[in-house]
């Protein structure tokens, strides 16, 4: 079942109501369950999710002395079940949310600590948008869906290798825009053409405008493909910045590296950017990413001396 054929309103979880008490502080801290539900915004209230300080580590992870074995078991179990769902034609949006939430739960059970901020900027856009920001690991690809999909149909721009092999059916079911990354010009044309069609159907798109996933950030490699797509389709860009090196890229298999449990996971979303002036929009997007990465002490390569 492809994304464009799926029924988004199959999502039947309750709508989260923001309590009056949040008007005093201006912040509402979502529970993990609320994070994966539709949310009714209140003016002047910012939404965030922070892993509770008393979140208990999984017993199996303690027994296995903090190795990656618990994580690997949980990860492959989630993927195998999801693949079976896809092959049976049962991988609708609610199941995608469940898979993504399961990965988030797995990460927290292995000592991952999330801080996800300004989620009101995810909820507030009325139509489709292009989400754009830096790309550090496979973690964001899995976890984003948990709190983006409840509010809008969604897909990704991905590398072609992700739609092939054993895991391919899961990604293909989301109707992604697959690019080879060998010919930037061909990739741009494909993203603009396929992306515009998807956006016109009301499907939002997550774009990582970098050549590869990396712990560091080089502004020179942060291209304008997301802004060009949004400008062509007449939709805004919602910027994000992430620090997800808790789950490192692998040396042999890049999609499956080791866990670094002392690294906090940061995700932050900015106000939507108008893309009528694409040059200005690109600079605003880049500045948003840089500002937050510097705050989280991510290495900015172009500023090395």
Q: Which pLDDT score is estimated for 155?
A: 96
Q: Which pLDDT score is estimated for 182?
A: 73
Average pLDDT over the chain reads: 91
Q: Which pLDDT score is estimated for 5?
A: 47
CB proximity list for 144: less than 8 A, separation 6 or greater:
100, 131, 206
Q: Which pLDDT score is estimated for 3?
A: 47
* 115 three-state secondary structure: strand
Given a cut of 70, whether residue 258 has pLDDT beyond it is yes
Given a cut of 60, whether residue 8 has pLDDT beyond it is no
Phi, psi of 177 (to 5 degrees): -100, 110
Q: What is the pLDDT of residues 184-197, one digit of tens each?
A: 788 889 999 999 99
Alpha carbon dihedral 219, 225, 227, 231, in 10-degree steps, equals 160
pTM, 2 dp: 0.93
The gap from C-alpha 289 to its chain's centroid, in whole angstroms, comes to 14
């Amino acid at each position: 079942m492809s994304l464009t054929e799926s029924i988004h309103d199959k999502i039947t979880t309750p709508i989260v109501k923001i309590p009056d008490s949040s008007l005093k502080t201006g912040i509402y801290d979502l529970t993990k369950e609320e994070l994966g539900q539709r949310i009714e915004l209140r003016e002047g209230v910012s939404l965030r999710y922070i892993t509770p300080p008393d979140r208990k580590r999984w017993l199996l992870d303690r027994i296995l002395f903090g190795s990656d074995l618990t994580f690997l078991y949980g990860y492959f179990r989630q993927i195998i079940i999801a693949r079976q769902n896809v092959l049976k034609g049962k991988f609708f949006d609610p199941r995608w949310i469940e898979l993504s939430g399961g990965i988030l739960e797995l990460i927290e059970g292995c000592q991952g600590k999330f801080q996800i901020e300004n989620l009101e900027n995810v909820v507030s856009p009325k139509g489709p948008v292009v989400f754009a920001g830096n790309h550090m690991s496979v973690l964001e690809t899995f976890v984003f869906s948990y709190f983006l999909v409840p509010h809008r149909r969604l897909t990704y721009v991905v590398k072609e290798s992700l739609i092939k092999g054993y895991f391919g059916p899961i990604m293909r079911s989301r109707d992604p825009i697959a690019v080879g990354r060998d010919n930037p010009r061909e990739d741009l044309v494909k993203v603009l053409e396929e992306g515009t069609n998807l956006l016109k159907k009301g499907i939002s798109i997550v774009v990582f405008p970098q050549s590869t996933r990396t712990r560091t950030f080089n502004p020179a490699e942060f291209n304008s493909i997301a802004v060009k797509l949004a400008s062509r389709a007449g939709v805004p860009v919602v910027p994000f910045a992430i620090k997800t090196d808790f789950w490192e890229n692998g040396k042999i298999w890049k999609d499956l590296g080791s866990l670094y449990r002392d690294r906090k996971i940061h995700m932050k979303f900015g106000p939507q950017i108008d893309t009528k002036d694409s040059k200005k929009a690109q600079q605003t997007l880049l500045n948003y990413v840089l500002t937050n990465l510097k705050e989280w002490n991510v290495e900015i390569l172009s500023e090395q001396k």
